[in-house]
Amino acid sequence: MNLNTSLESIKGVGPKTAEQLNRAGLFTVGDLIYFLPRAHEDFTAAGSIADAVPGKVTIRAKCESISTRAVRRGMKVTTAVFGDETGKMRAVWFNQPYRAAQLANPDEEFLISGQYEFKFNQYQITNPTVQKASDIKIESDQILPIYRAVKGLKTTVVRKILNELKTVIQFLPESLPSDVVDAAGVLPRGEALYKMHFPESPQDVLDAKNRLAFEEIFQLLLASRLNKQENTKLESWQISFDKDIVGGFVKNLPFELTSGQRVVAWEILQDFEKPTPMNRLLQGDVGSGKTVVAGIGFVQAARAGFQSAFMAPTEILAIQHAESLEKLLKPFGVSVGVLTGSVKSQARKNILNATENGDVDVLIGTHALIQDPVRFKKLGFVVIDEQHRFGVKQRQKLLEKSEKMPHLLAMTATPIPRSLALTVYGELDVSVIAEKPAERLPIISKIWSPISRDELYEKIDGEIASGRQAYVICSLIDESSKMEAKSVEAEFKRLKNSIFGHRRIGLLHGKMSAEEKDTVMQKFYNHEIDILVSTTVVEVGVNVPNATVMLIEDADRFGLSQLHQLRGRVGRGKWQSYCYFMMSDTKKPSRRLKELENSNDGFYLAEVDLEMRGPGEIYGRAQHGALNLQVATLADTKMISKASKIADNFVQSGENLLQYKELSEVVNKYQRLTTLN
Ligand code: ADP
Ligand code: MG
């Protein structure tokens, strides 16, 4: 019997059980062994009702009565009374009406485990787990694993079959190199999995998880190290650094570069000279001035005879980049072209031709750049702005438009916590612009209650009176939305017809055509509009330095990093800027808003976001799912830095990964997946 043996060949697994297991996605012995418990219940601590004190408790009792009622739409409350010889305990579940059937037999004894607390004027145990006491007699297990009930698969069934596999699990061969296991100081695989399924103490569970988490992180890190190594085998164009060209460009800028910008520009120009492709991630908070750094690369590449492509996630942004870069690049004889979805017919043909015959030095655009008809003469440098908005495939498609692998610069304003930079983004070299241009004042942020809305409008009007501009951000497009969030159109009309009747107000949202959007943005940029009422389409990259106030309606409905990105639209000029987070009600503000009120530091906020939501939420569920992390969390920085060193040592040792079949299979799969945006 090995990991690939089908479950049917296990003693006691008949066709019916096999079918149940298959439905839950479990086909082989390996599937089942790696079907890890979602939790463990410590029934050794089961006590009597009279002894229960608030906190986590487990009791052994019978169910005396149980009933369910609907309290409001979509919410069902099930209440039960448990009793033993010492007393009675009330239990409450939310939206778990099936408990009534589970607990129907008044003579059956159950183990009930959960939070015992004082709530609604009485003591109760809330949302407890329940096990039949008779189910728990499998051998002498005391700490009981609880398995996910996938498609009705019962924990008892899983446990029974695993019991048959005890010896197999114990003697499972090691999947990691032995020096890696030693260096990590973790349990051997078989022992870890055994302790996961058959723990004798809470410590067993911790040790087991520690080993399994280490293995997952190690695989991920190894994949990114190997990808990085492979990148060095690729061939790119060598673009040599011309001090006069770059120096001239920098001298001609309307500002001094910050030292962060200088360092990054230097790193890029160094990478250009190498025969291997640059593969660099540039992180810089909103407003740190990433675009001009790319501009330095463009001028160098163009003057050395190479074309560049600059891809942005929205049309507004692409056009804005094109306008600002053209001003900077033209004096140096570098030509700029724009290609977006709304460049059509003859204009489109012209730009495609000019790109193919090399007349365009820098092609700036949206996703339109990756389409088939776009061909370059000699593409040397690719820049992706706001790279988390693009998928791996899109980036790849752009890179393929060159004979040799072009140099890649991926830019992001969403700071990536260190733990993720090492794992998910591990194959990239990372550059950071930590500071903002010196003249910038930190944005003053305030959470605002709708009760004092008028007071806030006065403040905004004051800013406009002194020559500044404002954003009002709303979350949804039309009024029919169930969320009652302020609709952008309605808000636009309301402001126009009342408080700000004397101001010039513009409207911007995603349902407008690209031309309409562009016209409005251009007007705002030219200060022909005082207040721009907009949805989150302005979130990414838009740059109007004269705008100094932002009011975000229903701020509590947005995510932390999105709010930070939005806020970054102000604070881009030399004036003091303000961001007001308007609550949708008068409740207490969330931690998210409080953190934003207190900090402008994108890196700090990204760590908070990671801690609060977990990487799956932030970096896309699907991708995180594909990583298949069952035990590890990417927020575990300690584990990650430990595993990182061990992975480095392994790669440097030159040991052949193929000796470790299982490990190399997983690592190979990850290699194809990493750099998951
Ligand atoms: P982001 O990093 O968010 O993409 P941008 O590249 O859009 O930032 O730059 C924001 C603004 O700051 C632009 O108006 C740009 O011209 C300006 N800027 C960039 N670098 C500097 C600098 N060193 N000093 C002053 N202003 C700068
Ligand atoms: Mg930008």
| CA distances in angstroms from 584 to 446, 476, 616, listed in the order given | 14, 13, 27
| 519 in Cβ contact with 544 (< 8 Å) | no
Confidence of residue 480 (pLDDT cuts 50, 70, 90): low
The pLDDT of residue 47 = 84
Ligand nearest to the CA of 295: 1
| CA distances in angstroms from 134 to 48, 111, 401, listed in the order given | 17, 9, 66
Q: Which atom of ligand 1 is nearest to the CA of 293?
A: 6
| CA distances in angstroms from 354 to 193, 300, 376, 406, listed in the order given | 61, 20, 9, 19
Spatial CA neighbour of 294 closest among 341, 261, 258, 260: 261
Mean per-residue pLDDT over the chain, rounded: 88
Of all residues in the chain, the percent with pLDDT exceeding 70 is 93
Average pLDDT over residues 597-626: 69
| CA distances in angstroms from 88 to 131, 486, 539, listed in the order given | 18, 49, 56
Quick one: CA torsion of 359, 365, 371, 375, rounded to 10 degrees? 10
- Tens digit of each residue's pLDDT (9 = 90 or more) over 514-523: 788 888 988 9
CA distance 462 to 454: 12
The pLDDT of residue 368 = 94
The pLDDT of residue 620 = 44
Strand order in the sheet with 379-384: 336-339, 362-365, 307-311, 379-384, 407-412, 279-284, 429-433
Instruction: Answer whether 292 contacts ligand 1 (Cβ < 6 A).
Output: yes
Position 611 pLDDT exceeds 70: yes
Position 422 pLDDT exceeds 80: no
Residues 6 or more apart whose CB falls under 8 angstroms from that of 514 comprise 315, 340, 341, 342
Instruction: Answer whether 337 contacts ligand 1 (Cβ < 6 A).
Output: no
Confidence of residue 621 (pLDDT cuts 50, 70, 90): very low
The pLDDT of residue 553 = 94
Around ion ligand 2, residues with a beta carbon closer than 5 Å are 541
The pLDDT of residue 245 = 96
Handedness of CA 134, 139, 144, 147 (dihedral sign): negative
- Tens digit of each residue's pLDDT (9 = 90 or more) over 299-353: 999 999 999 999 998 888 898 899 999 999 999 999 999 999 888 899 999 999 9
Spatial CA neighbour of 596 closest among 562, 635, 570, 546: 562
CA distance 649 to 42: 39
Give the tokens for residue 317: 């942004």
**How far away, in angstroms, is 297 Cα from ligand 1 center?**
16
Which amino acid type is present at position 513? Answer: S
| 376 in Cβ contact with 355 (< 8 Å) | yes
CA distance 588 to 431: 38
Backbone angles phi, psi at 543, to 5 degrees: -130, 100
- Comparison of pLDDT for 537 and 4, the residue scoring more: 4
Which of 292, 314, 389 is the best mutation target for the ligand 1 pocket, counting ligand atoms within 8 Å of the beta carbon and taking the most?
Answer: 292
Residues 6 or more apart whose CB falls under 8 angstroms from that of 586 comprise 449, 450, 451
- Tens digit of each residue's pLDDT (9 = 90 or more) over 363-391: 999 999 999 899 999 999 999 998 877 77
CA distance 522 to 518: 6
Of all residues in the chain, the percent with pLDDT exceeding 90 is 56
Instruction: Answer whether 328 contacts ligand 1 (Cβ < 6 A).
Output: no
Average pLDDT over residues 192-202: 92
Average pLDDT over residues 226-254: 93
Average pLDDT over residues 434-448: 88
Cα(first)–Cα(last) distance of the chain, in Å? 40
| 336 in Cβ contact with 359 (< 8 Å) | no
The pLDDT of residue 143 = 82
**How far away, in angstroms, is 435 Cα from ligand 1 center?**
11
**How far away, in angstroms, is 216 Cα from ligand 1 center?**
40
Instruction: Answer whether 291 contacts ligand 1 (Cβ < 6 A).
Output: yes
The pLDDT of residue 175 = 95
**How far away, in angstroms, is 288 Cα from ligand 2 center?**
8
- Comparison of pLDDT for 92 and 476, the residue scoring more: 92
The pLDDT of residue 664 = 94
CA distance 396 to 382: 11
The pLDDT of residue 65 = 94
- Tens digit of each residue's pLDDT (9 = 90 or more) over 481-513: 444 456 888 899 999 999 999 999 999 988 888
**How far away, in angstroms, is 602 Cα from ligand 2 center?**
14
Confidence of residue 628 (pLDDT cuts 50, 70, 90): low
Ligand nearest to the CA of 256: 1
The pLDDT of residue 517 = 85
- Comparison of pLDDT for 272 and 43, the residue scoring more: 272
- Tens digit of each residue's pLDDT (9 = 90 or more) over 531-570: 999 988 776 657 899 999 999 999 998 888 889 989 989 9
Q: What are the b/e assignments for 169-189, b being 16+ CB within 10 Å? A: beebeebbbeebbebbebbbb
Q: Which helix (H) or strand (E) holds 385?
A: none
Position 626 pLDDT exceeds 60: no
Backbone angles phi, psi at 408, to 5 degrees: -115, 130
Beta strand pairing call for 75-84 and 87-94: antiparallel
The pLDDT of residue 89 = 95
Confidence of residue 427 (pLDDT cuts 50, 70, 90): confident
- Tens digit of each residue's pLDDT (9 = 90 or more) over 129-186: 888 887 665 445 568 888 888 887 888 889 889 999 999 999 999 999 999 999 999 9
Give the tokens for residue 504: 């010039």
The pLDDT of residue 502 = 95
Confidence of residue 218 (pLDDT cuts 50, 70, 90): very high
Q: What is the residue-wise DSSP string for 77-131?
A: EEEEEEEETTEEEEEEEES-TTHHHHT--TT-EEEEEEEEEEETTEEEEEEEEEE
